[in-house]
Amino acid sequence: MTTEVDYYEVLGCQRQADGATIKSAYRKLAMQYHPDKNGGCKDAEARFKAVSEAYEVLKDPQKRAAYDRYGHAAFKSGGGGGQADFGGFSDIFESMFGEFMGGQGGGRRQTRRGADLRYDMEISLEEAFHGKSAEITVDVSGTCDACAGSGARPGTVARGCNTCGGAGKIRAQQGFFVVERTCPTCMGAGEVIADPCGECRGDGRVDKTKTLSVNVPPGVDEGTRIRLSGEGEAGPRGAPAGDLYIFLHVKRHPIFTREGTTLHARAPISFTTAALGGSIDMPGPDGSAHTIRIAAGTQGGREVRVRGAGMPVLQGRGRGDLIVRIEVETPTRLSARQRELLEAFRETETGEECPETSGFFAKMKAALGG
């Protein structure tokens, strides 16, 4: 025995909720549980069907009045216990979000828009800095050239569906009201192809390989998405095509790491440069060299910020900063002369040369009772 869940509970609404509240609840739940957003999850698909069925009833004043009075019994046809067919949940979603998804919800016939496609492109940090133009090749379902997407054999045309009169929908009396559903003969197209095209077998689409130009603007980051309108899958029988989305992936750089428009780099220096001061040249992603001044007595871990030497702002003006972290390297290979000089230097040390070191050991000595 099938458990009939209250439609108001399905949408999370009170029975006295107005139409706007019910519509808002449906939109939120439909977007959350739509199969395209849940990777084909069966539980999400079942939840989406339940939400769509509940909204199909509660959005219509006559259906809602009948449901409030008779409950689910109002939708039993002929006493046979069969539940009324409100059409596929995809039709309901397309009717609700037709404009957003590129369909034609609310018209005489439903037009199924082609599917969106995804293409992953890998670029270097330098290409992300400067931008680039590239050509990509994608395999898609494109409009059939033989029939120009109509699905009918050249020289013939599709005829109007006799079942629905070209509307793509039919109406049937269900108890106290009229139920509208997708025409089972033409599947909502409003037309029937008696003599289908030999190339596409009546679908209006064939497999194609397309070469497209992609312009990557300066400043893009990992995960930036570029939309190519109308370059996705062609819709069936001349319906609008979907879009192609280019997802960008920036390759790991040997020198720089990135946080938004800020670049980070590490620069090892000799301990003599750290002690006496000096300068180093740090190359930027644009190929220019930035001089980093090293003050005498620089400690390891110090960060130097170079203003305006980072990544450009995407679709804006200016650039971020470059932050260089100084790391003091202790020599591991000394010549005899170098070792002699360091030994002579150590003999002259008083402790004042490295106040942090001497201070640390003084604190330790005091903590251990002298």
Comparing C-alpha atoms, which of 243, 217, 227, 290 is closest to residue 140? 243
Q: How far, in whole angstroms, is CA 211 from its chain's centroid?
A: 23
Quickly tell me which residue has 């790491």 as its tokens.
Answer: 257
Residue 147 marked ligand-binding? yes
CB hemisphere CA count around 132 (13 angstroms): 15
Residues 188 and 230 sit within 8 Å (Cβ to Cβ): no
| 41 carries a ligand binding annotation | no
Q: Is 164 annotated as a binding residue?
A: yes
Look at the block and give the residue holding tokens 């689409």.
Answer: 205
**Cβ atoms of 138 and 234 closer than 8 Å:** no
**Is there a contact between 119 and 245 (Cβ–Cβ < 8 Å)?**
yes
Residue 211: CB partners within 8 Å, gap ≥ 6? 135, 136, 137
Under 8 Å between Cβ of 259 and 131: no
Distance in angstroms (rounded) separating the CA atoms of residues 191 and 161? 5
Query: Was 354 annotated as part of a binding site?
Result: no
- Parallel/antiparallel/unpaired status of strands 82-83 and 76-77: antiparallel
161 in a known ligand binding site:
yes
Q: Has 200 been labeled as part of a binding site?
A: yes
User: 279, 291 in Cβ contact below 8 A?
Assistant: yes
Directed axis angle between helix 42-58 and helix 89-96, to 10°? 60
Question: Is 183 annotated as contributing to ligand binding?
Answer: yes
> Is 197 assigned to a binding site?
yes
Nearest 5°: phi and psi at 160?
Answer: -65, 145
Query: Which residue numbers belong to the known binding site for Zn(2+)?
Result: 144, 147, 161, 164, 183, 186, 197, 200
Query: Which residue numbers belong to the known binding site?
Result: 144, 147, 161, 164, 183, 186, 197, 200
